[in-house]
Amino acid sequence: MDLLSALTESGIRNGEHLFRKLMLQVSVIAAFIHVAFSFLFLSNDIWLLGVVNVFSVVLYLLVFVMILRRQHIFTAWVLVVLEILGHAALAVYFLGWDSGFHFYAMVIPPVVMISPLKEGIAKMPVVMGMMMLYILMDYLLRHAGPVHLLPQAVLNTLYYFNLLTVLFVMVFLSGLYYRLVMQNEAKLQQLATTDSLTGLQNRRSLTTDAEREIANHKRSGSGLSLLLCDLDNFKRVNDLFGHQAGDRVLMHFAQVLVNQVRSGDLAARWGGEEFLLVLPNTPMTEAQRVAERIRDSLAQSAIQFGEHEIRTSTTIGVSELAADDSFEQLVARADEAMYRGKEAGRNCIMLQQN
């Protein structure tokens, strides 16, 4: 899976999760609002709207259960849209445009745009349809006289209550969209800097961080060492047990590295079966001890793959930062030391040659 595909899939999952959360919150808030409207309409002898609001409360409770159980989410979403449109049109017809119930229809287009509708359902036609319905409602009802006259104080209260409620929902939707963008940005950053198999840094990310560490250590004069680790006979693991076993070996070795290094150390999959560690504030002698702990830990552990127990070893080259070093030179010396270890029989630690 490439970076764009992984990000798209992650974005869809995040969008669906946030949309379900939005629907749960909206259904609870809407149920309470419609309970209040039921009492308001019934107390003013507007029985039809009172009964309609009771049914709306039941509908939102049903939507809550459907979303909570992750069943028929699209159906629940359609029910909410139809309830908003129907309730807005009916309330405006009975109470007049100045009641402010038409504001609720304006919530639907932004909800559609952030909803995780599948590709087979185009969002723009749905949004355009909702906009046309709102314009039609405006044309038919804005100048029509209300069926039921409410006291002006009650009408004004309804107007500003509905206006504030819709503004609150718009702000809430904006916050939801912002969270989705931020989560996708963080996911993109993670995918761009992390090896997808092992969870360690990738080569590009570590190079950037290592060059920054080297610059800092040159200014401070403190020591810095580098370990280049290569899994011995890794091709044979793939040939004998398959690439799934090889992936398990790579993930296991990555965990060994994580267990043996400090939080401030840098660890990356350098490429294939090679792993690179940058150890800040670590002289060569200490780096050699770290390398030995890694080698011992890997040698003493095994991977159970089906009926097979797979044991692996590693050869590690160690280099130390010099005053005039670049990152490439530091890696090259560790690489040369590692290859000397391969020639010496593998499963060993080799230090750079001075």
The residue extents of the domains of the chain are 3-193, 203-351
Tokens of 220: 């401070």
Asked if residues 330 and 214 have their Cβ atoms less than 8 Å apart, the reply is yes
pLDDT in tens, 23-72: 888 888 889 989 988 988 888 888 888 999 999 999 999 999 988 888 77
pLDDT at 111 over 80: no
pLDDT at 10 over 60: no
Report how far residue 288's alpha carbon sits from residue 317's, in angstroms, rounded to the nearest whole number: 9
The Cα diameter of the chain in Å comes to: 97
- pLDDT, position 8: 45
Place 120 in a pLDDT band, splitting at 50, 70 and 90.
very low
pLDDT at 7 over 60: no
Report how far residue 313's alpha carbon sits from residue 302's, in angstroms, rounded to the nearest whole number: 10
What's the mean per-residue pLDDT of the chain?
Answer: 86
- pLDDT, position 225: 95
Alpha helices for the chain (secondary structure H)? 3-43, 47-68, 73-95, 108-114, 123-141, 152-193, 203-220, 234-241, 243-260, 284-299, 327-343
pLDDT at 153 over 70: yes
Mean pLDDT, residues 197-212 = 92
pLDDT at 9 over 90: no
Mean pLDDT, residues 183-210 = 86
Highest-confidence range of 2-11, 12-21, 151-160, 326-335, by mean pLDDT?
A: 326-335
CATH number of 203-351: 3.30.70.270
- pLDDT, position 85: 87
Place 349 in a pLDDT band, splitting at 50, 70 and 90.
very high
Highest-confidence range of 110-114, 116-120, 303-307, by mean pLDDT?
A: 303-307
pLDDT at 207 over 90: yes
- pLDDT, position 15: 58
C-alpha angle 96-97-99 in degrees, rounded to nearest 5:
75
pLDDT at 16 over 60: yes
